[in-house]
């Protein structure tokens, strides 16, 4: 997921490197019993390795733009790494590091970490952003689809960012002046708990392996007939993947019930899918994996599907457009990665001049958004350690 933070008048200019990169990864370590239940060391090592790989790539750009790590979080194999232009970290008016928080949830059976959701939130200029990386229940069929719907609901309702906020409260103090006792009102600073939910943001981007499959009643032969018609590859010059996607997307479970109602209730939307199914590929190749007919369960489960998605929710009155949504020709694993580019409108302060969006009506809406966010904006978060060691696979982790 790439994010450009621009005033409206700049949105029609040529594309430049984004201000924010949010990268979602799944299965960065083997999903074995040791990693899922006890060890966090392999997850941390893998996350550090991937962080360095992405930093090397981002900082080798032709525009000589430097990028730095904003935050990262992982549970077993599910990981989210967020980078920003280094210049933004030097300006507290652009990114206030006190607003950078991360959180995580275990979603596996008995709440183990083989399936999970992790998130990072931040305030950029006057906009609040929340990035969520997920890995939902696998396999095809009605039962698995219901579990994925539960995972989606649980992720948005329970994934939260916790911290502390310093506040002032009046406290009565008794003092003596001669023979008279006086009650004085004293202001004392106290620390109170505070939390933010996923929905408390101007822009929420949820991405990763949602494991969405073809509907159970769709015969896999219908899918394979279309896939084989373009040569059985997920990428290729002259292949009309958009036309094929238009035909097959109605067979996809994500926007069918019960998930469709859940997504609409959570205000999520998705750009048009014009790329080939992202699963299941033969690693190192653009060819789809063809399971043996002697294994009917795998034939059913490994039917090509759009497992990997990017969903987003935008608060009313916030200027945000999705300019790109497509797959990337990277064939390292059995999933084809997807990416999206968003252009988020910056709200200008009065000191910068202008009204941000331009029109009085749009500025009024932006003012309402700022008013609604006043409580969040005023919070001064302090990083705390989680007492729930299971959240990071057995090791100590930050919950923010």
| Pick from 125-139, 315-329, 344-358: least confident | 344-358
- pLDDT bin (cut points 50, 70, 90) of residue 41 is confident
| Pick from 51-55, 189-193, 221-225, 321-325: least confident | 189-193
Could you tell me which residue, 345 or 132, shows the higher pLDDT?
Answer: 132
92: left (phi over 0), alpha (psi -120 to 50) or beta: alpha
Distance CA 63, CA 16 (A): 8
What are 364-394's pLDDT values in tens digits? 544 544 444 444 445 544 444 333 323 333 3
Its CATH class, for the domain covering 2-214+253-272+306-399, is alpha beta
What are 266-296's pLDDT values in tens digits? 999 999 999 999 999 999 999 999 999 999 9
Using the predicted structure, report yes or no on whether residue 33 has a pLDDT greater than 70. yes
Domain spans of the chain, in order of start: 2-214+253-272+306-399
Could you tell me which residue, 125 or 5, shows the higher pLDDT?
Answer: 125
pLDDT value of position 104: 94
- pLDDT bin (cut points 50, 70, 90) of residue 12 is very low
pLDDT value of position 191: 55
Task: Print the SS3 string covering the chain.
Answer: CEEEEECHHHCCCCCCCCCEEEEEECCCCCCCHHHHHCCCHHHHHHHHHHHHHHHHHHCCCCCCCCEEEEEEEEECCEEEEEEEEHHHHCCCCCECHHHCEEEEEECCHHHCCCCEEEEEEEEECCEEEEEEEEECCCCCCHHHHHHHHHHHHHHHHHCEEEEEEEEEEEEEEEEEECCEEEEEEEEEEEEEEEEEECCCCCEEEEEEECCCCECCCCCHHHHHHHHHHCCCECCCCCCCHHHHHHHHHHHECCCCCCHHHHHHHCCCECCCCCCCCCECECCCCCEECCCCCCCHHHHHHCCCECCEEEEEEECCCCCEEEEEEEECCCCCCCECCEEEEEEEECCCCCCCCCCCCCCHHHHHHHHHHHHHCHHHHHCCCCCEECCCHHHHCCCCCEEC
Mean pLDDT of the chain: 81
pLDDT value of position 37: 66
* 385-396 burial code (b ≥16 CB/10 A, e <16): ebeeebbbbbee
Query: Considering only CA atoms, which of 321, 312, 268 is closest in space to residue 5?
Result: 321
What are 140-189's pLDDT values in tens digits? 999 999 999 999 999 999 999 886 554 554 454 444 444 444 444 444 55
- φ, ψ of residue 222 to 5 degrees: the values are -65, -40
Distance CA 394, CA 350 (A): 48
What are 67-103's pLDDT values in tens digits? 999 999 999 899 999 999 999 998 888 998 888 999 9
Using the predicted structure, report yes or no on whether residue 17 has a pLDDT greater than 50. yes
């Amino acid at each position: 997921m790439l994010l450009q933070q621009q005033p409206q008048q700049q949105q029609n200019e040529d594309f430049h490197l984004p201000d924010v990169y949010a990268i979602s990864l799944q299965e960065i370590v083997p999903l074995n019993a040791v990693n899922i239940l006890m060890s966090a060391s392999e997850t941390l090592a893998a996350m550090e390795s991937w962080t360095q790989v992405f930093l090397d790539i981002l900082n080798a750009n032709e525009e000589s733009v430097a990028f730095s790590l904003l935050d990262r979080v992982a549970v077993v194999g599910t990981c989210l790494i967020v980078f920003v232009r280094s210049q933004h970290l030097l300006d507290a008016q652009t990114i206030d590091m006190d607003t950078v928080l991360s959180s995580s949830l275990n979603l596996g059976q008995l709440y183990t970490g083989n399936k999970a959701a992790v998130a990072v939130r931040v305030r950029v200029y006057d906009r609040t952003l929340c990035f969520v990386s997920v890995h939902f229940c696998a396999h095809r069929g009605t039962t698995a689809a219901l579990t994925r719907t539960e995972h989606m609901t649980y992720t948005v309702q329970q994934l939260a960012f916790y911290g502390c906020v310093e506040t002032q409260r009046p406290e009565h103090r008794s003092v003596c002046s001669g023979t008279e006792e006086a009650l004085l009102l004293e202001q004392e600073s106290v620390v109170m708990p505070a939390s933010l939910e996923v929905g408390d943001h101007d822009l929420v981007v949820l991405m990763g392996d949602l494991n969405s499959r073809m509907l159970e009643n769709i015969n896999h032969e219908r899918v394979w007939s279309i896939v084989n018609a373009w040569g059985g590859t997920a990428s290729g010059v002259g292949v009309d993947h958009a036309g094929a996607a238009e035909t097959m997307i109605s067979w996809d479970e994500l926007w069918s019930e019960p998930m469709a109602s859940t997504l609409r209730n959570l205000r999520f939307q998705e750009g048009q899918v014009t790329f080939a199914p992202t699963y299941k590929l033969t690693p190192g190749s653009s060819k789809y994996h063809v399971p043996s007919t002697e294994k009917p369960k795998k034939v059913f489960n490994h039917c090509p599907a759009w497992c990997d998605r990017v969903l987003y929710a935008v608060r009313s009155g916030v200027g945000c457009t999705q300019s790109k949504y497509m797959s990337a020709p990277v064939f390292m694993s059995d999933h084809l990665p997807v990416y999206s580019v968003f252009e988020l409108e910056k709200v200008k302060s009065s000191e910068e001049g202008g009204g941000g969006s331009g029109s009085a009506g749009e500025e009024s809406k932006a003012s309402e958004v700022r008013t609604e966010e006043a409580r969040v904006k005023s919070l001064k978060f302090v990083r705390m350690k989680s007492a729930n060691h299971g959240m990071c696979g057995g090791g100590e982790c930050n919950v923010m």
